[in-house]
Amino acid sequence: MLYHLLPQYADVHIIFNLFNYLTFRSAGAVITALLIALVAGPATIRWLRHLRVGQVIRTEGPRSHLKKAGTPTMGGTLILLAATLSTLLWAEITNWYVMLSLLALLWMGAIGFMDDYLKVVQGRPRGLVARYKMVGQLSFGLLLGIFLVLQPIHPIPATWTMVPFFDQWVAVFWVPAYVIFVSLVVSGSSNAVNLTDGLDGLAAGLGAIALVTFGVFAYLIGRVDTSAYLGLFYLPGAGELAVFAAALAGGAVGFLWYNAPPAEVFMGDTGSLALGGALAVMAILLKAEFLLLIVGGVFVLEALSVMLQVGWFKYTSRRFGAGRRIFLMAPIHHHFEKLGWAETKVVVRFWILGILFAMLAFSTLKIR
């Protein structure tokens, strides 16, 4: 909004010209979202307590988690509120990159909200039936893929995507395969972040790290000079995603203020599905889907741990008549808790891993 209103007054005072710059508006977006989350946090927590939306703790999980029963969940609404308002205030809201990313955030947040509402308000332990949740995720991905094919938003063919570490290599998809690929990226990313949301501050901290990383890539890809120098696709207008990423990261960090151990509120599926979906759509729009595997390396490990655990358990059940486990408990962050690690130690070490994966992603800019 400010981008559309204030630069026209640059001839009145040079300060208004600042609103033309992505760096200034990104800084404004992260600060605004952070302040909104900090200010609105207490009221949001009181509202959730009034609704009696307390977290249900898995009895097979670490015993230290039992004391968390009843802690308000659905706190992802705070992230969505802060990120949406800040984006509308600081971003170029007519930009396709911003509109599609914001739509993804709200779409996935709505799916998560329905799941949380059914579980904690209506008392349905399963929440939103898994297949309905998956339909909602895949349908958005399919619609996004079809839209990008029929309505290109940049000069690069929709079915092309960059390959990390190689500036001369491009992955080219058959159109139907690309649409399916986009839907799998969206559903896979949103579910991976959802699986990671099991410890106080874990998903919010890792999400903020990944968002800042993609915000930097968006800024570089949106500039003709840096994209050419680094061997990246040049996508005009993609730099606005830096503002969106900053707003969402600010919302996540503001939420982390109340989600840090011991958590006063949990994000629930409302926040985790929204964060994962937004990260996926940013990667898709930046033609950096494979880079998402590196930036979100911890999310990938969390999802793989669940897939391996379930797959091995089912195989050994058929093969030996009794299911066996690879990990003491999945997702893998619970495995380390079962080994005796303190929750805060697991969270901080996983944050460090997230930073290392972000650094690996940045290394792809020069190792090309």
The mean pLDDT value of the chain amounts to: 90
Q: Is the dihedral of CA 222, 226, 228, 230 positive or negative?
A: negative
3-state secondary structure of 329: coil
- For 316, other C-beta atoms within 10 Å of its C-beta total 15
Instruction: Calculate ∠ Cα 335-341-346, nearest 5°.
Output: 75
The DSSP element (H or E) to which 162 belongs, if any, is: strand 160-163
Question: At which residue do the structure tokens 């710059």 appear?
Answer: 21
pLDDT in tens, 57-87: 555 556 655 566 668 888 999 999 999 999 9
Provide the pLDDT for residue 336: 94
Decide if pLDDT at 317 tops 80. yes
- For 295, other C-beta atoms within 10 Å of its C-beta total 28
8-state DSSP, 121: I
Least confident of 51-60, 129-138, 244-253: 51-60
Backbone angles phi, psi at 109, to 5 degrees: -65, -35
Provide the pLDDT for residue 54: 62
Instruction: Calculate ∠ Cα 234-300-310, nearest 5°.
Output: 150
CA neighbours closer than 13 Å in the CB half-sphere of residue 332: 15
Q: Is the dihedral of CA 187, 192, 195, 197 positive or negative?
A: negative
Provide the pLDDT for residue 52: 72
Calculate mean pLDDT across residues 217-241: 95
Provide the pLDDT for residue 63: 60
Calculate mean pLDDT across residues 113-135: 74
Instruction: Kindly write down the DSSP assignment for every residue of 211-274, as one continuous string.
Output: HHHHHHHHHHHT-HHHHHHHTPPP-TTTTHHHHHHHHHHHHHHHHHHHHSSSPS---HHHHHHH
Decide if pLDDT at 9 tops 90. no
pLDDT in tens, 163-174: 998 888 899 999
pLDDT in tens, 13-58: 778 778 889 999 999 999 999 999 999 999 999 988 887 766 665 5
Using only C-alpha atoms, the chain has a radius of gyration, in whole angstroms, of: 21
